[in-house]
């Protein structure tokens, strides 16, 4: 019997190869075995050169509260810069490719229909080529970003950019899968490369640092091939929405609150923010509100938030709040605003209002200090944050979250801004 080649089951194409995918999705794909990965970069094309120079290998440092486990991940065949549209089209059209996973961040789904700037639009071109090539096996597009119904959002974004023939062909040939992904992955610290080399011998310019916890819940409706992710502990479900909402509202919601309220209060890292008495009280408040929107037993929610608190307190992970603070205009409408609406307005959700107020206060501080705000709407944020009158300033900032003028949220946010803990 001949040994099968390590990658004879199929090819997975990954879009957006940042730290998160390399700590999560690709690790599970390696554990599943039998698949090769062709990846495309997100923002930084330099990642393609760095990983190709290392033959796709990189060091993974799993940083627990007690110590580090270091291993080499070796599942990537080749990495292309995001703008290599020809390569993406060729790979998606190839029948050996059966799965595309995406970690393109929240803003990637509203990037429009121009393939030069939009990953969903590039995928639409790839699918058109697959249709023209006559490939019959369904391909699965698997969204791994922090959005409610991320598969539905992806489907809309791809179809908006697709030609008419591809739109008609799509339902029979493409599965769009929602998933909930979870693994806190900070930016690698300065000592990470030396640690990887010392423990594994690999000279690695792009190591990944992550936490021990990892979770991936995937909608169970692939018609074509997929990696045997269950071998890596991935859970398949028919009810993805509850998993998504629980994680978005409890983990990501608390993250967003801490990112802004923590920095406004003068701390820099997640473990410091959760250890700050007043910031922690705000997190508790936000959790009690978010929990009221989740149809899950109290004991499950208690266990979930207790585990979250322990993860946030990991003193060795050094997760910087500035990482989580990026792209607030794309995150707050997913993490905080739906809870405020579902609970019946700002009066009913002071913890969620605090998350929004911490954002308006934080961007205002940054803009006025001349510091960068990383956000797809950075220019509009700078203009709004410069407005002198507090009510007008808050109203203009909230408009960037699609909150209409006159909404009671503006007054609640302006009042809450004044109550935020300061150094």
| Shortest separation between residue 182's beta carbon and ligand CS2, angstroms | 4
Of 63, 130, 131, 183, the one binding ligand CS2 (CB under 6 A) is 183
| Shortest separation between residue 251's beta carbon and ligand CS2, angstroms | 6
- What does the buried/exposed string (b/e) look like for 251-275 if buried means 16 or more CB atoms within 10 Å of the residue's CB? bbbbbbbbbbbbbbbebebbbbbbe
Q: Which of residues 248-267 bind ligand CS2 (CB under 6 A)?
A: 251-252, 255
Q: Which of residues 300-339 bind ligand CS2 (CB under 6 A)?
A: 323-324, 331
Helix H or strand E encompassing 83: none
3-state secondary structure of 283: helix
Note whether 50 and 205 are within 8 A (CB): yes
Smaller CB separation from ligand CS2, 84 or 241? 241
C-alpha 317/C-alpha 313 separation (Å) is 9
Smaller CB separation from ligand CS2, 203 or 303? 303
* Residue 184 makes contact with ligand CS2 by CB under 6 A: yes
* Residue 246 makes contact with ligand CS2 by CB under 6 A: no
String marking each residue 95-134 x if it binds ligand CS2 according to CB under 6 A: ----------------------------------------
* Residue 179 makes contact with ligand CS2 by CB under 6 A: no
Q: Which two tokens stand for residue 340?
A: 């405020």
| Shortest separation between residue 109's beta carbon and ligand CS2, angstroms | 15
**Long-range contacts of 379-385, Cβ-Cβ distance < 8 Å, separation of 24 or more:** 381/329
Smaller CB separation from ligand CS2, 175 or 182? 182
Of 182, 204, 289, 375, the one binding ligand CS2 (CB under 6 A) is 182
3-state secondary structure of 73: strand
Query: Footprint of ligand CS2 on this chain (CB under 6 A)?
Result: 146, 182-184, 251-252, 255, 323-324, 331
């Amino acid at each position: 019997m001949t040994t099968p080649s390590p990658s004879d089951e199929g090819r997975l194409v990954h879009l957006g190869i940042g730290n998160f995918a390399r700590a999560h999705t690709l690790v599970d794909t390696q554990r599943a075995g039998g698949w090769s990965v062709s990846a495309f970069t997100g923002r930084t094309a330099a990642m393609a050169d760095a990983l190709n120079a290392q033959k796709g290998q990189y060091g993974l440092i799993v940083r627990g509260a007690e110590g580090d486990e270091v291993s080499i991940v070796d599942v990537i065949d080749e990495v292309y810069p995001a703008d290599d549209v020809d390569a993406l089209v060729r790979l998606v059209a190839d029948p050996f490719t059966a799965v595309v996973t995406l970690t393109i961040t929240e803003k990637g789904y509203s990037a429009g229909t121009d393939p030069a700037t939009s990953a969903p639009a590039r995928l639409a071109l790839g699918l058109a080529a697959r249709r023209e090539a006559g490939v019959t096996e369904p391909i699965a597009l698997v969204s791994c970003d922090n959005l409610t119904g991320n598969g539905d959002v992806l489907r809309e974004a791809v179809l908006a950019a697709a030609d008419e023939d591809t739109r008609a062909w799509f339902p029979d040939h493409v599965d769009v899968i929602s998933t909930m992904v979870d693994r806190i992955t900070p930016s690698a610290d300065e000592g990470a490369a030396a640690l990887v080399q010392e423990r594994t011998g690999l000279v690695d310019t792009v190591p990944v640092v992550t936490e021990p916890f990892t979770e991936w819940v995937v909608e169970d409706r692939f018609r074509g091939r997929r990696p045997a992710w269950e071998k890596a502990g991935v859970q398949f479900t028919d009810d993805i929405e509850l998993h998504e909402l629980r994680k978005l509202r409890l983990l990501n919601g608390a993250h967003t609150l801490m990112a802004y309220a923590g920095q406004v209060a003068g701390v820099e890292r997640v473990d410091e923010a959760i250890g700050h008495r007043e910031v922690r009280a705000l997190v508790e408040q936000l959790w009690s509100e978010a929990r009221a929107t989740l149809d899950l037993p109290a004991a499950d929610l208690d266990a979930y938030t207790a585990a979250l608190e322990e993860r946030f307190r990991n003193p060795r992970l050094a997760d910087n709040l500035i990482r989580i603070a990026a792209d607030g205009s794309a995150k707050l409408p997913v993490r905080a605003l739906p809870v405020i609406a579902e609970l019946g307005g700002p009066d009913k959700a002071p913890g969620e209002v605090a998350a929004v107020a911490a954002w308006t206060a934080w961007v205002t501080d940054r803009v006025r200090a001349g510091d960068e705000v990383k956000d797809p709407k950075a220019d509009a944020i700078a203009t709004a944050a410069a407005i002198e009158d507090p009510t007008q300033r808050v109203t203009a900032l909230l408009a960037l979250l699609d909150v209409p003028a006159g909404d009671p949220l503006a007054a609640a946010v302006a009042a809450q801004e004044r109550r935020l803990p300061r150094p």
